[in-house]
Amino acid sequence: MPRETVSPGAARRPAFALEIQDAALLVAKAHPHGLPQVRMLKLLWLAELRHFERTGERLTPAGWWRWQHGPYSKDVINTVKKATRAFRCEEVSEEPFNPALMIRANAEPSSPLNSSGVDSVNEVLWMHQKYTDEELLREIYADPFFEETPFSFDFDFSSLPRYRRSLPEAEVERLRSLPTKPVAAIADLFAP
């Protein structure tokens, strides 16, 4: 059963914030020199969709909306900014109303994500390791779930099954049997 999304004004349950934080930490740990917030959001979006394909459930309860540069989640950005012990965020833009962040991980995930959640994030990191931001955006825009959501609207995850079905059990088992790279090995691929 899909979990509810975190609405911007609602009180958050700590487990929700930890799930978002741990998914973001997995992505950030794979980029030891840091990554821009826009790239992190794109990779987490793809992991969210991949996880749904594998399990029929959401990876995190983060709310997402369609933005001109891809999917955007205020829940993810706020969680990263508030978790000052887990992340180091540096503003790299001089635009006062739209600062771009470079995000680095300072901690290990605390593990509220289940193993299939970790596998989904690692799989997206592995598959998209050499993609430029433009290539990531092209892939995201080619997805009907993204494409059919009007600009600046929230994504309605209750309609996601129409676009993404859970994989048959045999395919899930095949994916589980594939060798996966630990986050440290993925991080080595991004090292200069």
Q: What is the pLDDT of residues 34-62, one digit of tens each?
A: 999 999 999 999 999 999 888 888 999 99
Does 162 reside within a domain? no
Does 182 reside within a domain? no
Say whether pLDDT at 17 is over 90: no
Task: Say how far apart CA 124 and CA 47 lie, in whole Å.
Answer: 6
Token pair for residue 123? 């799989």
* Cβ atoms of residues 35 and 101 within 8 Å: no
Say whether pLDDT at 87 is over 80: yes
Buried b (16+ CB within 10 A) or exposed e, 121-157: bbbbbbebeebeeeebbebbeebebbeebeeeeebeb
% of residues, the chain, pLDDT over 90: 36
Higher-pLDDT residue of 161 and 21 is 21
Structural domain count of the chain:
1
Q: What average pLDDT does range 102-126 have in this prediction?
A: 89
Identify the band that residue 176 occupies on the pLDDT scale cut at 50, 70 and 90: low
Q: What is the pLDDT of residues 119-130, one digit of tens each?
A: 999 999 999 888
Does 167 reside within a domain? no
Does 181 reside within a domain? no
Does 191 reside within a domain? no
Does 186 reside within a domain? no
Length of the chain: 192
pTM of this structure: 0.76
Does 67 reside within a domain? yes
Say whether pLDDT at 95 is over 70: no
Does 174 reside within a domain? no
SS3 content of the chain, % helix, strand, coil (to 5): 50, 10, 40
In the chain, which ranges are E strands? 35-36, 65-67, 70-72, 87-91, 101-105
Distances (CA, A) of 41 to 11, 30, 175: 22, 14, 24
- 85 in helix, strand or coil? coil
Looking only at the bridges linking them, the beta strands covering 87-91 and 101-105 are: antiparallel
Lowest mean pLDDT, pick from 13-27, 60-74, 135-149:
13-27
Structural domain span for residue 69: 14-154
Q: What average pLDDT does range 148-164 have in this prediction?
A: 81
